[in-house]
Structures are given as structure tokens and as C-alpha cells.
Amino acid sequence: MISVIETAVAKGNAPIFQLKVVLLGSKPPVWRRMQVPGDARLDWLHAALQVVIGWTNSHLHQFKVGGHCYSDTRHHFAEFEGDPEILEERKFTLSQIAPRAQDAFGYEYDFGDSWEHEITVDKILPPDAVAATTAFCLDGARACPPEDCGGGWGYDNLLKILKNQKDPEHKRMKEWLGRGFDAEAFDPAKTNLWLRKLKWPRVTEAQLRKVLMSRDDYHE
């Protein structure tokens, strides 16, 4: 049986939400501005965020709205009695958790490094047939931190080491990265090429992995 949410998503006539995404604690800030269909399910929004920010979907994630958490309950769930309930993100859409302009919510990625993002609804635009089944990056600044670098503190330390060729850790950190890293680099045009490859209205883990690996020019 097709759910009410799936029916609404299939119609593709929802307003377009313009979002500002800021990686909290990054100085100067890592941020993105993007447009997403308001009827996008949260699992699809997660996939779009992984592409637009630059993460690799290698860790757990959750959306935080007020006192509620939304995630993929196949991998993330309340383990012990008394733990807050984790709501299934596939059952909710963007417009349900943030229905008004200036609404804000959190997106946490990698519970070890704990990358916290603040997402604000800048504005809500009329339905647009061209934008009804994809996300679009309008602007942004600075590269996504490397995965597993130790969170905000670890990233700041990594940048200091990379800037100082005399630092005893400089060579080891460059080898750990495995490729050049420009903290100031971000290209919205290239990002949009990969956003357009996300399947609508559902993205499987396998399909998202394929998009992200192609984006990063990584071959298994």
C-alpha cells in the first residue's frame, strides 16, 4: 500500500524550501545554501546533505527538532530503557519538521566526531516543476573537513599542522589524507552535478555510496 507521504512526494507539487546549512564550530564557517523540495523525506534530505556538504555517509546521523530525533532506525535506535525514542526519518518530510520560514533544526553526523549542523529555512518558494525532484546548491564556502579527523578540535589542529611544514606531524598528516586538501575550496557547480544524480523520491544506501564515490573519484 502506498503511504500518504509517498503519494504527496510522487506528485511533486510542493513548495521549494531554501535552506542555510552551517557547520557549527567551524571558523571561518563552512556553510551551504541549497534548495530542496518541501515534500522531500528526511532520508532523501540526508542524502542531499551528504552530497552538498561533502561527507561520505560513513557514519550514523540524526535530525534534531525540538526534543525529537529522526534517523534511520535500521541502524540507529534507542538501545536502553529510558533512552529517547528515535523516530523513523523515512516517515517524515522536510515540510513536516520545519513548516515555516526561519524554522531551524539540527543535523548531526558521526556521533564520535559529532559534527553538528544548524539548518535554517531561509524562505519558502512556490512550487517549481524543474526543482520538484532534485536539490540545488546556490552557494557555499569552504571545504568539508576530512572524515575521522577528530571533530572541530581535531580539524583545527589538522589545519595548523598542514600549514606548518616544520611540524613533526606534517608529513604523517599529509600521508593520512592521501591527497591534497584545500580548506577554502568549494565549487557549487560541481556539487550540483552530483546532486542531480540522486534518485527521487528515494535514495538507497548503495546508490548514495555510488554517487559519493564518483564525486570523490574513489574506486574500490
154 part of a folded domain: no
Residue 165 lies in a domain: no
Q: Give the list of residues 6+ apart from residue 118 with CB closer than 8 angstroms, or none.
A: 21, 22, 24, 104, 106
Q: Among 160, 142, 126, 183, which Cα is nearest to 32's? A: 142
CA–CA dist 201, 132 (Å, integer): 10
Asked if residue 215 belongs to a domain, the reply is no
CA-to-CA distance for 220 and 212, rounded, in angstroms?
12
Q: pLDDT per position in the chain (220 positions), as tens?
A: 344 444 444 456 899 999 999 999 999 999 999 999 999 999 999 999 999 999 999 999 999 999 999 999 998 877 666 678 899 999 999 999 999 999 999 999 999 999 999 999 999 999 999 999 999 999 999 999 999 999 999 999 999 999 999 999 999 999 999 988 999 999 999 999 999 999 999 999 999 999 999 999 876 5
Domain region containing 111: 4-143+182-198
Q: List all residues 6 or more positions away from 157 whose beta carbon is below 8 Å from its beta carbon.
A: 150
Looking up residue 41, the CATH number of its domain turns out to be: 3.10.290.30
- Any domain includes 161: no
CB contact at 8 A, 68 and 54: no
115 part of a folded domain: yes
In sequence order, what are the beta bridge partners of 20? 33, 120
Asked whether residue 92 is assigned to any structural domain, the reply reads: yes
Residue positions counted in the chain: 220
123-153 residues labelled b (16+ CB within 10 A) or e (exposed): ebeeeeeeebbbbbbeebebbbbbeebebbe
Q: Say what the pTM is.
A: 0.92
Q: What is the pLDDT of residue 83?
A: 76
Identify whether 88 is part of a domain.
yes
Rounded CA gap, 90 and 78, in Å?
17
**Overall number of domains in the chain:** 1
Give domain status of residue 177, yes or no. no
